[in-house]
A and B are shown apart, each in its own frame.
Chain A
Amino acid sequence: DQQVKQNSPSLSVQEGRISILNCDYTNSMFDYFLWYKKYPAEGPTFLISISSIKDKNEDGRFTVFLNKSAKHLSLHIVPSQPGDSAVYFCAARDTGANSKLTFGKGITLSVRP
């Protein structure tokens, strides 16, 4: 059973526009959420995170929103740049098993020049 779901496998946006990447989760014990970016032939790189006690965290062009009641989070990238083209993974930490992160399947973002 997939506890972290990224239902859209891919997203294509124009350079300069907003990219919105969505993630849903089912486990109510998740208390910390992270986004990772992965280029081909590289390991995942930590991008931004949010605690379950917050609903928004911003870092430069990247903002993560959390809606606990809907068990939904989203990553906004504004403005999108061609260098943002990568696979983005949503991950969640289980407060009951805090050494483990559960990852979604990832979304491939393509930013067109």
Chain B
Amino acid sequence: DTEVTQTPKHLVMGMTNKKSLKCEQHMGHRAMYWYKQKAKKPPELMFVYSYEKLSINESVPSRFSPECPNSSLLNLHLHALQPEDSALYLCASTHDLAKNIQYFGAGTRLSVL
């Protein structure tokens, strides 16, 4: 089983809203990732959690706030986003940081109005 589940699949929010994206995996993976992907671009790394601790923040604006409540769950809290934040947000996980073969969820398509 290599399933990473992301909810919701689609999200439309206004610039004053607060919303959260959720990512779940039950593969026992101890590293989890948030990526942002714009159309016809590669995924861009946002955050890395390793053993439930934030290990990498790629200078992401504070309107994006990650949270890792436990080893299976990763959230991304959104507040006061801008229209240019509209993108596909992908979650990934890996069990082997040496090889770092990451398994991705289907993503949340976010539109900020």
Contact = CB atoms under 8 A, between A and B. Distances in A.
Contacts of B107: 42-43
Contacts of B92: 43
A109 interface: no
By size class, the interface of chain A is: 20 to 34
B25 to A, nearest CB: 12
A65 B96 CA distance: 23
Nearest to B9: A41
Interface string A69-107: 000000000000000000001000100001111011110
Given A44-B90, A99-B31, A105-B40, A34 B45 contact: no
Interface stretch (B14-22, B62-70, B75-83, B97-105): B97-105
A98 B31 CA distance: 12
A98 B100 contact: yes
By size class, the interface of chain B is: 20 to 34
B100 A105 contact: no
B97 A43 contact: no
A68 B106 CA distance: 33
Given A89-B42, A104-B42, A106-B42, A45 B104 contact: yes
B106 A42 contact: yes
Most chain A CB atoms below 10 A, which of B2, B42, B43, B98: B42
6 contacts: A43-B90, A43-B107, A44-B43, A44-B104, A93-B99, A99-B100
Given A43-B106, A99-B56, 14 more contacts: A4-B42, A36-B104, A43-B6, A43-B104, A43-B107, A44-B90, A45-B104, A46-B2, A46-B101, A93-B99, A99-B48, A101-B45, A103-B42, A106-B40
